[in-house]
Structure 1
Amino acid sequence: MAGQASFDTMDYVLLGVMLCGSMGIGLYFSFAGNRQRTKEEYLLGGRRMTAIPVCLSLFATFQSAISLLGTPNEVYTYGTMCAYDIVATSLANLIAIGTVVPLIYPLRITSVNEYLALRYDSTCVQIVGALVGILSSLSYMTIALLSPALALEPTVGVPLWMSIVIVGGVGTIYTTLGGIKSVIWTDVFQTVFIFAGAFTVLVKGVMNVGGIEEVLSIANATGRITFDEINFDPRVRHTVWGITIGGTLYWYSSFYTQSSVQRILSTRSERSVRHVYLFSIILYTVYISVLVSTGLLLTAYFYKTKCDPIAAGFLTNNNQLVPYFVLLTLGFLPGLSGLYISTIFSASLSTLSSGINGLAANTVEDFVSKFLRGKSESFMTSITKFLVCFYGVVCIGLAYLAKELQGPVTQMTFMAVGATSGPLLGIFLLGASFPQANYIGALVGCAAGVMVCFGQAIGAFKYGNPPTSLPSGPTDQCFLENATSSFTNYSIFLTAQPENATSLTTMPPEIEVRDFSVFDISYIWNPLLGVLFTIVVGLLTSLVTNRLMSHRPRPQARFLFRFCRRFWYPDINTQDTDIELD
């Protein structure tokens, strides 16, 4: 195929500017002000951060390279049902305003798992929550670090190990040096790259194809535009109900992670935190809309050039589609390809830096704090910096070891993180909703949730019915010398190429009919399974064990959601009172 687009000098320069800028921010906060001498300053920015930078940082943390590469690929491969993620993220943010903010922010804690220790009066629950949270974060960061490396190696020519080491090394260094302030302000800097790159690709691509109407026409003719899948069968991969319910739980669970809570606690007021979540809805809506549109653009481009690079064998993985498309469409002007590749690196950096900073906070507060009592603030900060560096190295190693992973990165992430985030969310919801819940119920419920989620995820991977993708594009001109430099007339293509007609209709692909199996349940429901099993098993266990315990739990009302306080304790002041259960 012609168009062996490549990364040139200006592209590498622009990539270097992004990496050096990120490093420079870390160095600045390492030496500015009090130089991060206290643990609170290093992990929480002195609790003085404002809403806008925290909002941009929260956005950059969870909208990583996984979504940049995965969402357009999802649309190209399966259609636009994933756009309902806008509804899921919006609902999750609105729910968080009324639940997470008033529950967590007034406690003035550092680690999210300190809430578990306070609510259940149990260090054991705190440790279990920390372990599950660490496993979830490592899974997410591994895929976030690996996905751009897998995509860039065959398209840009950057060796996989080099991408992992560069992104992992730079992120680890500036996070170690500058703490949460460098993470937040670097996220702000990287968010600019993310939006600049995403909009540049979308605008230039639409111009190449022939306009928005042409993009929509081809996408609709090839069956990519679909928003009406309302099937109640849980085996259907994406439905309105599945993405809305399962997706909302998935994103809501992210607000109980250390990376998210750390930003909440670093913000100067509860009002500012509410603004963070409201601003996030706007950012997420714009961002997901751009990525879904990019997926439709990929469809129009590869159908109009009559060359699907996956079907032609030029690419080995659908996750490589976006960088490949970028090199073809933006390679005409030096630096533009580098801008988008910098976008991918920026998204990966933001996720890594936030994650390793959060893991260090978890380790210090949940595991080693009792061994460091009486130590100076400078010593505690040094230990925290060492842990940041340690987790950075661990993530680099895990990403390289996981290099054989295949499949849509969005689905891989949802399965890996959903298997742990569901049970973890269940522990928090159990404790914040039911004063009857005790530490035994929390531990048993969490164990049940984790076993069910991992069992279902592993079983689906090994025995589940693989999803059926939409028809591949044509390959007629893939091997012509001018294949990527000129378009055929789309209307002529529809009438003069009947052999490709099946690729340009909405004919549903054949679906294998088989007996119902739990392993065929869509991955989108995994978080819900974890939450339900954790809460139901945990509550039942608590009710039974409460009868057998001589000392019944006495949860303070402030450890419950505000609406639950009014329900369980209607006749008393529930702001900060010990309540003994009947």
Structure 2
Amino acid sequence: MPFSGYHVEFGTADYVVLGMMSFASMAIGISFAFWGKGQGTQADYLLGGRQFKALPVCLSLFASFISAISLIGVPVEVYTYGSMYIYNLIGVIISNIVALFTVVPMMYPLRLTSVYEYLNMRFDSKIVQLFGAAFGVTSTLSYMTLALLSPALALETAVGIPLWLSIILVGAVGTLYTTVGGMKSVIWTDVFQTGIIFAGTFIVIIKGTMTVGGFERVWETNKNSGRIVLDEISFDPRIRHTVWNLIFGNALYWMGHHFSQTSVQRLVSTRSIQDAKKVYMFSILLMIVVNIMLLVTGLVLVSFIYEVGCDPLAAGYIKNRNQLLPYFVIHVLSFLPGLPGLYIATIFSAAMSTFSSGINALAANVARDFIPRYLHRKSEFAKTTITKLLVCFFGIISTGLSYLLKDFEGPVLQIGITIIGATSGPLFGLFLLSGLFPQANCVGTLIGFATALVFSYWQAIGSTLFGFSTDALPMGPTDQCIGGNDSSITVSSVFNFTATYNDKDSFEYTTPIVFGNEQEKDLSILSNRDFSMYDVSYVWIPLTGVFLTVTVGLITSIIANQFSSKVARPKAKFLFPFSRQIWYSERDVVDTEIFNNNIQVLETSKAL
């Protein structure tokens, strides 16, 4: 079914499906808010009473991080640059395995609510806690703002709803059930939304593959168009995607996620440390499946464009690459009313999950990191009420920020990782330094963290403005887009533009259409270009943040300790288990294990 001359509308059945999904999310969230013990305390509201089993927490964590950014960004990545991104999967697996031996055994026994409370315990310093929390809030806010914007772009393309309206709709639904229900609502709604994500993606893959003639045809088309790229093994850090930067750079990127408030808050909401470990083990399987599905979705998208002979981006039917996938989906699934609505609901679900998790995490950060003294003398009812107001406040703020970015253009996946990586790298370095080296002190850690932040933001901003831009792969054909070989044809569509085709094979638009980055250059230019940190691949940005935080922080701490009359030594329980074996006596290690076992027995008895 070609794009040309074919007007696909978002019908009544599609609106019904989308509306049902939104209503179901609200209903599930609100009903589970009062399930069991309800919300008697702030801990019940923010952590669900610490009584969750592993599976729902795993599905919730999965839904939070596989956002609309990934659902839209990975297939578009395949269209634009090819299939190299699949090596990201290895980095994800590595990060989950590392988290099993670092995040879980160190964080879970401390019974935290905010991950940054650990920094106060570790350094006996409120300053380090506040410094980390401030930038953690920045990172979370940036991530969820982009995640809210992505479905708004999709709905604009597929439905014609104004961008501002779709942003408000997504933000309002997520804010409502999260404010009312807290962590219980977030987790159980995420479980439902995970099912929607898998169902929608699976249907698109199956129908799209059938439409183009089978998977062999999909593979052949992508190979011929240069999208099957799996052999870039260069060690040049300036090359956008290589085997090495996708594995190790993304492993660090995902480790930053594992030490985030969103992850740790879910981790400590489980009923035992065994359940916490299962969360990461189950996540490995889920991440393998979804990454392969998103890669195949991108391959099917490319194959469909070549099969129908019409690339909607090259033809000007859409404004930028981020709109390719929803535009493709409403054509492929239009044979059955309601299916396009299901897929838009998939993007909607992914964004809502990330959004609800984010505002819940931000409220926990403010309540536990910034205003705990103010809340200390309040009743549990007052604490819970204030926390709910914080959730509502951050929901409104995030929705507003997303609207301000309504003219956002460019590869959503790359820009998202660039912005978030500039903060998440130093933040992960902060926890890595704290958990690895007992020599790290408050002064050295702050200096290392500040140095890494300055450098990371400088690199991220500089690379965006002045860095080398890799050439995108050629767009698809347009010979079937505008009705045969007529020398002059005018096309008008639901997207409000007019395109005129003339004998010179050029298009003139009444509204500007973005075909890609005008600064794209041939990759061969790198060999004749002086080395610049601005040209380093965006994937390495988290690495520079981690490296600077750890090295500068450790060296500065060692120097500062030489001038201190009394060097404080943290308790063994504040270090990773393998670090305890290196730096502490056997007795200290045994005492820590006894402490952890007692916590485990306590949690098990509560669960029973």
Identify the TM-score tier after normalising by the shorter chain.
over 0.9
**Aligned equivalents of 1:140 and 1:40: distance in 2?**
25
- What residue in structure 2 maps to residue 520 of structure 1? 535
**Aligned equivalents of 1:395 and 1:298: distance in 2?**
31
Q: Which of these residues, 543, 559, 580, is aligned with residue 544 of structure 1?
A: 559
Matches within 5 A, 1:239-388: 239-388=242-391
Q: Which of these residues, 11, 18, 41, is aligned with residue 14 of structure 2?
A: 11
The answer to whether structure 1 residue 177 and structure 2 residue 196 are counterparts is: no
Report the CA distance between 1:147 and its aligned residue.
1.4
State whether residues 152 and 166 of structure 2, in contact with CA within 8 Å, keep that contact through their aligned partners in structure 1.
Answer: yes
State whether residues 247 and 524 of structure 1, in contact with CA within 8 Å, keep that contact through their aligned partners in structure 2.
Answer: yes
- What residue in structure 2 maps to residue 485 of structure 1? none
State whether residues 81 and 239 of structure 1, in contact with CA within 8 Å, keep that contact through their aligned partners in structure 2.
Answer: yes
Report the CA distance between 1:206 and its aligned residue.
0.2
Matches within 5 A, 1:504-515: 511-512=524-525, 513-515=528-530
**Aligned equivalents of 1:30 and 1:223: distance in 2?**
50
Partner amino acid for 1:545? A
Deviates most, 402-411 or 231-240: 402-411
2:235 is paired with a residue whose SS is: coil
State whether residues 423 and 531 of structure 1, in contact with CA within 8 Å, keep that contact through their aligned partners in structure 2.
Answer: yes
2:371 is paired with a residue whose SS is: helix
The answer to whether structure 1 residue 465 and structure 2 residue 480 are counterparts is: no
- What residue in structure 2 maps to residue 192 of structure 1? 195
- What residue in structure 2 maps to residue 113 of structure 1? 116
2:112 is paired with a residue whose SS is: coil
Q: Which of these residues, 584, 587, 601, is aligned with residue 569 of structure 1?
A: 584
**Aligned equivalents of 1:571 and 1:348: distance in 2?**
47
Report the CA distance between 1:234 and its aligned residue.
0.3
Report the CA distance between 1:159 and its aligned residue.
1.2
State whether residues 30 and 180 of structure 2, in contact with CA within 8 Å, keep that contact through their aligned partners in structure 1.
Answer: yes
**Aligned equivalents of 1:575 and 1:420: distance in 2?**
36
2:589 is paired with a residue whose SS is: coil
Q: Which of these residues, 104, 109, 117, is aligned with residue 107 of structure 2?
A: 104
Identity score, percent: 54
1:432 is paired with a residue whose SS is: helix
2:241 is paired with a residue whose SS is: coil
Partner amino acid for 1:149? A
Q: TM-score, normalised by structure 1?
A: 0.93
- What residue in structure 1 maps to residue 210 of structure 2? 207
The answer to whether structure 1 residue 417 and structure 2 residue 432 are counterparts is: no
Query: Compared with structure 1, are the counterparts of its residues 510 and 422 closer, same or farther at alpha carbon in structure 2 (3 Å cutoff)?
Result: closer
**Aligned equivalents of 2:39 and 2:467: distance in 1?**
49
State whether residues 557 and 575 of structure 1, in contact with CA within 8 Å, keep that contact through their aligned partners in structure 2.
Answer: no
**Aligned equivalents of 1:530 and 1:332: distance in 2?**
49
Report the CA distance between 1:516 and its aligned residue.
1.5
Partner amino acid for 2:268? L
2:229 is paired with a residue whose SS is: coil
Report the CA distance between 1:575 and its aligned residue.
4.3
**Aligned equivalents of 1:148 and 1:551: distance in 2?**
55
Report the CA distance between 1:577 and its aligned residue.
6.5
2:376 is paired with a residue whose SS is: coil
1:405 is paired with a residue whose SS is: coil
Partner amino acid for 1:557? A
Q: Which of these residues, 217, 221, 231, is aligned with residue 218 of structure 1?
A: 221
Query: Compared with structure 1, are the counterparts of its residues 310 and 540 closer, same or farther at alpha carbon in structure 2 (3 Å cutoff)?
Result: same
Partner amino acid for 1:173? L
State whether residues 99 and 562 of structure 1, in contact with CA within 8 Å, keep that contact through their aligned partners in structure 2.
Answer: yes
State whether residues 556 and 576 of structure 1, in contact with CA within 8 Å, keep that contact through their aligned partners in structure 2.
Answer: no
Partner amino acid for 1:287? V
State whether residues 468 and 511 of structure 1, in contact with CA within 8 Å, keep that contact through their aligned partners in structure 2.
Answer: no
Query: Structure 2: which 5+ residue stretches go unaligned?
Result: 486-504, 506-520, 594-608
Report the CA distance between 1:298 and its aligned residue.
1.0
Query: Compared with structure 1, are the counterparts of its residues 327 and 461 closer, same or farther at alpha carbon in structure 2 (3 Å cutoff)?
Result: same
State whether residues 470 and 509 of structure 1, in contact with CA within 8 Å, keep that contact through their aligned partners in structure 2.
Answer: no
Matches within 5 A, 1:30-41: 30-41=33-44
Q: Which of these residues, 131, 135, 145, is aligned with residue 134 of structure 2?
A: 131
Report the CA distance between 1:514 and its aligned residue.
2.0
State whether residues 10 and 158 of structure 2, in contact with CA within 8 Å, keep that contact through their aligned partners in structure 1.
Answer: no
State whether residues 29 and 177 of structure 1, in contact with CA within 8 Å, keep that contact through their aligned partners in structure 2.
Answer: no
The answer to whether structure 1 residue 427 and structure 2 residue 430 are counterparts is: yes
**Aligned equivalents of 1:463 and 1:573: distance in 2?**
51
Partner amino acid for 1:471? P
**Aligned equivalents of 1:312 and 1:200: distance in 2?**
27
Report the CA distance between 1:551 and its aligned residue.
2.7
Query: Structure 1: which 5+ residue stretches go unaligned?
Result: 483-498, 500-507
Spell out, residue by residue over 1:467-521, the C-alpha distance to the aligned partner (whole angstroms, 9 max, x if none).
2111111110111289xxxxxxxxxxxxxxxx9xxxxxxxx96643422211000
State whether residues 2 and 481 of structure 1, in contact with CA within 8 Å, keep that contact through their aligned partners in structure 2.
Answer: no
**Aligned equivalents of 1:29 and 1:293: distance in 2?**
35
2:468 is paired with a residue whose SS is: coil
Query: Compared with structure 1, are the counterparts of its residues 32 and 572 closer, same or farther at alpha carbon in structure 2 (3 Å cutoff)?
Result: closer
The answer to whether structure 1 residue 554 and structure 2 residue 569 are counterparts is: yes
**Aligned equivalents of 2:95 and 2:35: distance in 1?**
36
Report the CA distance between 1:355 and its aligned residue.
0.4
Q: Which of these residues, 53, 65, 71, is aligned with residue 50 of structure 1?
A: 53
Spell out, residue by residue over 1:94-118, the C-alpha distance to the aligned partner (whole angstroms, 9 max, x if none).
1000111000000011110010000
**Aligned equivalents of 2:192 and 2:32: distance in 1?**
14
Report the CA distance between 1:6 and its aligned residue.
1.5
Name the Cα RMSD after superposition.
Answer: 1.6
- What residue in structure 2 maps to residue 477 of structure 1? 480
Matches within 5 A, 1:20-99: 20-99=23-102
**Aligned equivalents of 1:86 and 1:167: distance in 2?**
29
State whether residues 470 and 522 of structure 2, in contact with CA within 8 Å, keep that contact through their aligned partners in structure 1.
Answer: no
- What residue in structure 1 maps to residue 550 of structure 2? 535
- What residue in structure 1 maps to residue 601 of structure 2? none
